[in-house]
Structures are given as C-alpha cells and as structure tokens.
Chain A
Amino acid sequence: MTVGLFVPCYIDQLYPKVGRDTLEVLEKAGCKVVFLQDPLCCGQPMANSGYESKTRDFEKPFLKVLPEVDYLVTPSASCSYHLSHHLLKPFVAAEELAKVKELTEFLHDIIGPDKIHASFPYRVGLHLSCHGLRGLNLGTPSELKVPYYSKIEKVLAAVDGLDLVVPSKADECCGFGGSFAVFESAVSVKMGCDKMKTMSGAEVSYVAATDMSCLMHLEGVFRAEESTMKVMHIAEILNAGA
C-alpha cells in the first residue's frame, strides 16, 4: 500500500519530530511511504481568515499526487478536514477524496486499530480536537445522542502502559482557532487556560491530541503558566518506546 505523507507547514517548521514519528508509524504499519515534497500547506490558515481566494492553486500539488497513491495521510485533523471539505472538494470525486485521511483515522479504518504497538507508561489526557471530532467524526461529540465510539482511544489501546484519561469537557475547544488565536487573543488564551485547568485537575503528565496546532497553543499557555504538563501528538505516543 502506497501512502503519500503530507507534512503541514507548521509541523515541518516547528514540530519536525511529529513528522518523523508519523513517517515511522506508517512504516511500522507496513505502508510504503512517499513523503510529498510539493504540497506545503492546505491553505487553511488563509481560508479560515477569510482569504480562501489567496489559496487558489494550492490544490494543484495535491491533485497531482492523489492518483499516484492509495492514501494521502497527514498528522493533522484540521488540515485533513480542510483538504476534504474545502480545498479539494470542488475538484475531486467523493471516492478519490476519501483517500485523504488523518493519521488516526487511517490507522483505525485502514490498518486496523490494534496493529500499532508502542510503549508509553504515563498518564495522558486526551484533548479531542474539534475538526477531528466534529469534522472527521473520529469519535462521539458530547452534544449528540449517538452510541459512544472513539477511533483515537481504539488506536491508542495497543500502547503498553498508557493510562489514557478523557477528562470532563474533553471536546471543548482549546481556543486555538487559527488566526483567532491572534486576533481574539483574550478569549483564546482564556480557553487555553481553562483547558489547562481541566487537564491538571485530571492529574495528567501529558496532553495528547490529533492536532499539533491545538497543542502548540496549549504548550504556549502551559509554558507561560509554568505548568509541568507536556504536550504530545498522537503520532509521538504511537512511536514511543518501540
């Protein structure tokens, strides 16, 4: 199975380890991984700020590689959501679009949830990033009356020693929201602080999520507040200690 790996711009620059861990996890899963050099960004930072018009042509490198791979995987739920619901949607048929997968979604749906073994003997609080949860249906959002399921929990179930906690309000937004974080910084930081409080109340050592963007915001708040909690992308946990 050939998987095209899309590493979003901010992960490339600020969290390269998440890119490396994703690559290695996909290889552990038995995929032939092709790192996609050309797509640099899904266009979401501009589009969510009202400048979708400035992301014309951003689709081109994706459209070029999509027919050449079985799946296009990215360690970012919000980028994956933006690709499948906005950037590529006008250009690609539904079944081709279904090849675009966020990492945990790919592992759960395509590889099988218990295939990735790792070891991470810590207490980890799960933050359910909005675009993954409500956009990609990675689990049950607290608002809906539907049977409980969680692709993330299933994928993490095979990690040795992991003490995974889903604290109260785990699916309340962390306050990142793209350029919202800057233009609405007061509310953004307040939301981050509140997330920090529920996580520290759950006495976790790490906060994990499908999105490094949420975690970058939370890390910034933890650091300012001198919290000892660390942030960790799902890919980092899945590639730990193995």
Chain B
Amino acid sequence: MFNRRKNKLMKGTHANLSKGFITGSEKTDWHNNALWFLRAKRDMQRDTIPDWEKLRATAAAIKDHTLSRLPEYLQRFEENAIKNGIQVHWAWDDAELREITASILRENNAKSVVKSKSMLTEECGLNPYLEKEGFDVVDTDLGERIVQLRKEHPSHIVVPAIHLKKEEVSDTFHEKMNTEKGNSDPDYLASAAREALRKDFMRADAAITGVNFGVAESGTVVVCTNEGNADMGVHSKKTVIHCMGMEKLVPGYKELAVFTRLLARSATGQPVTVFTSHYRKPRPETTEHIIIVNNKRTDIFEDPEFRQAMRCIRCGACMNTCPVYRRSGGHSYHHTVPGPIGSVLAPFYGKEKNKDLPFASTLCGSCNNVCPVKIDLAGLLYRWRQKLTDETSPDLSKKIGMDIGSKILKSRTTYSLATRAFRWVPGSVLQSGLNPWNVTAKNGHKERIFPDVPGESFREWYKKNQE
C-alpha cells in the first residue's frame, strides 16, 4: 500500500494534475470558496489584534533566535523532558522515525494505535509502515480519518479533507462504516464518525500525537486540536508517543504565548484552538516518549537562504490565501505539504521529482503577507527556480525558448530584426493553436486569445515622430 500511495503521489506534474482538478470537476469554485472563507475568517481575527503586524514580526524573530541556537535548545529540551520522566529518542530520517515507533510499540505489547493529527508522521510514511508491520492504526482527527478511509493523502495540512464535498464523505462512510446511504448531513456524519472513533479509542493500546510546539525551558510538548482527540489518546493509553520535528522548539512559555495567539487565527480564523494541550509528565504506570525528527531539516537549517523556511508553524494560511492552491487542490502538488510552503520544502526531498513545484506559483506574494512567521515564500520560490534550472534536467522546449528570447532581447540589432519578422506573422497564426498563449478547451471553446498586433511598435512610432 505504501508503494501504491507513493506512485499516486508522483504521477504527473502540478500543471497536469491541476488540469484534472479544474476541468474534470465542478469542485474548483467550491474548493476555492471554502478556502477563501478561512482566509476571510483569518482577516477578521487579525483585525481583533491591534498589534498584529508586530506580533508576526516578534514570532519571526523568536523563531530566528531559536534556530540560531537550535542545538542548545534541543539539548535543554531533552534534559528537561528526561527530568520529567519522558523518554527522548532522536530520528535522523523518516525510516528511523518509523522503526523507533514500531519498536516502542512492540516493547509495550501494543498492537493498535490511535493517532492524532500529525503531518510529520504523514511526511515519514508512518501509517503504511505500521500497517505493513501488522499494527492497526486509526487516525482520529476527523479530516484525517476521512482521507485514511479513502486511502488518500491529506490535501491540506490543517483541513486534510477540504478537497471532498460532504456527499463524497457520505459515500465513503456508507461504504466503510455503514452509515445511511445518501445522508450527507454534516452533523449526522460527524456523530457517526465520533461514535466509531470512541470504540477505536477504547480498543487501542497506544496513542501517537504530533507536536505543535516544544517548550525548551520545561520539556513540555504542546498539541493544538479542535476535537480533543489528542487528549483522549494521551489520557487513556499506557503507551504514548509524541512525534516532533526538530524545528518545533520555542525557548519558553513567554514565547509560546506569541505562537498560540497566531496559530489558530492564521490557520482557521479562530482566536485559539478548542484544545491547547500541554503534555509534560507521564501519568502513573504510563510510558511517554518524544521522538525528535530531523528528516532533512538539517539540510534546510544549513542553507543560509532557505533556513527561514524552518520558522514555519504549519498553520496553512499560505495555502488558504494562495490563488493557485485554491483552484488546483492540494493533491496537485504531489508532496506531503502542498501550497507555497510545500513547494519551498519539496525540493529538499527530491529535486528532480519536485522541480515543477516552485513554478506552480505566480509569485503574487499573498502568502508572504499572511505568513505568521513572515517567511519570504515568493522569494524562496524564485530562488528555487534558479537553482533547480541549474541542478536538474532541463525542459528542452523551455530552455530553447529562453535561449532565443534572451538573445533577441540582448541587442538592438537582433531585437529589431526579430520584431520586424514578428510583425510579418499573420494574426491568424498568432491567434492559432501554434501559439501556446492561446488556450482552447477540449470542447473547442476558446479560453484565451492572443492580442491583435498593432501596425507599428512604440519604437517605430518614436522614430517617426520624436527624433
């Protein structure tokens, strides 16, 4: 199943996959509006905080500070967590995270796991691995449960099933959980899922959570959820594992407060998530573990240009605002984290296979402005474009076009020859399918037409009239 899922992810480029999302379904407008709704709610929450921009600047500065002393803070975090009775593990990459998790489960005789929201375990392919190893894994975040039942991948990091309409969820639940056929009332579906999940919570032997923040001064992990599902797992299981990316650290509680004010407001336009759970000490007779994961984060950390991407708190605001993401859907990005930040991170996980992603943007910069930690996303995408063009196999037609274009535009002689020739090309040709500017739908409907070329250029006019 792991391989199948991987293949699904790699099929096609963003341009092709988004075409499918746009033309193959009427969902685009609906998807666009659903995400814009989150952006609008975010704007409303922003307006409740007079010093919003200062808060963002502070958050960015705190993250930069923490990253500049990351080894020190990681060490302090580990020491404090151990003092609290938590076992700390270090995973260099995705494989180590999977293996450490499985061995903890085996040591504790755990066969089944309830898991709360974690994009990190998604990134590391934990579910398929555990299933292959014979464990039973249930995602307990409602959105993640839906995509898990459908054997899909989250299409968004905060709202994983945002690509699905309630009718599709209804069909899936009918098929997998035997809910009433055709009943797509969201309350009905949510309570059916909740009921099934309650049984999973009772049955499971262990709980796994993601981590939003790790507080170095106390060794605490902080998990933000709206459904309380992390708490239900952590508070009822004898074996608890928190999986944390190493960039999640903040120095102390004072700094944490800056981020809890920003996270939910930026993500879903809520003043705060319904649950902000602090896990510090294991309950009696419980073993609690934190796995600190690298998985390429040191590569990003060591790159002076891209280090700022490590500030990301995975709020998803850059996706909600992105005009391309909203219309093309998260799966078109064929990487665990989609949207602007996903396209910045993806090439670190494979330049060749992800080289299209930094180009799946108009560089409009809206993401930069919503990002609570002020990552220059558009600037980093621009940098990737240069690097990937140098470091991956070229798209020949594009390369030739750019070669010719730059030669023409470099000298007045070639420019005037080329543009004179251009003026000879009949409009019927310029407005035909030979010109890639013109777009025609499958049904023959024209969607974009090249402009009529005027009789003389500005330069020609200037020569005649002004010189």
Stretch at the interface among B17-25, B99-107, B254-262: B17-25
* Most interface-central of B388, B402, B460 (chain A CB within 10 A): B402
Measured CA separation A49–B381 after assembly (Å): 11
Quote the shortest CB–CB distance from A27 to chain B (angstroms): 10
Are A50 and B362 CB-contacts (below 8 A) given A187-B328, A189-B447, A220-B449?
no
Q: Is A1 an interface residue (CB 8 A)?
A: no
User: A146 to chain B: which residues have CB within 8 Å?
Assistant: 53
| In the complex, chain A residues 82-140 whose Cβ is within 8 Å of any chain B Cβ | 130-131, 134-135
* Residues in B whose Cβ lies below 8 Å from that of A35: 462, 466
Dominant secondary structure at the A interface? helix
Interface of B is mostly: helix
Contacts of A141 in B (CB 8 A): 365-366, 369
Nearest residue, chain A, Cβ from B436: A182
B370 within 8 A of A: yes
Please give the number of chain A residues whose Cβ is less than 8 angstroms from any Cβ of chain B in the complex: 72
Say yes or no: B369 contacts A52, CB within 8 Å. no
Q: What's the minimum C-beta distance from B255 to chain A, rounded to whole angstroms?
A: 21
Contact A13 B437 (CB under 8 A): no
Binds A, one of B126-134, B174-182, B405-413: B405-413
Which residues of chain B (354-381) have a CB below 8 Å from chain A? Answer: 359-366, 368-370
- From 174 to 202 in chain A, residues with beta carbon under 8 angstroms from any chain B beta carbon are 175-194
Given A184-B15, A187-B18, answer yes or no on A48-B437 (Cβ-Cβ < 8 Å).
no
- Taking CB atoms, residues of chain B closer than 8 Å to A185 are 15, 436, 439, 448
| A156 CB, min distance to chain B CBs, angstroms | 22
Given the complex, which residues of B lie within 8 Å of A40, measured CB to CB? 409-410, 412, 415
- B interface, size bucket: 35 or more
Interchain CB contact under 8 A, A190 and B22: yes
- Is A11 close to B, CB under 8 A? yes
Contact A14 B451 (CB under 8 A): yes
A143 touches B370 (CB 8 A): yes
CA–CA, A52 and B390, complex, Å: 10
Neighbour of A53 across the interface among B386, B409, B436, B448, CB < 8 A: B386
Q: Does A58 contact B (CB under 8 A)?
A: yes
Q: Is the CB of A216 within 8 A of B382?
A: no
Q: Which of B257-298 contact A (CB under 8 A)?
A: none
Do A14 and B453 touch (CB < 8 A)? yes
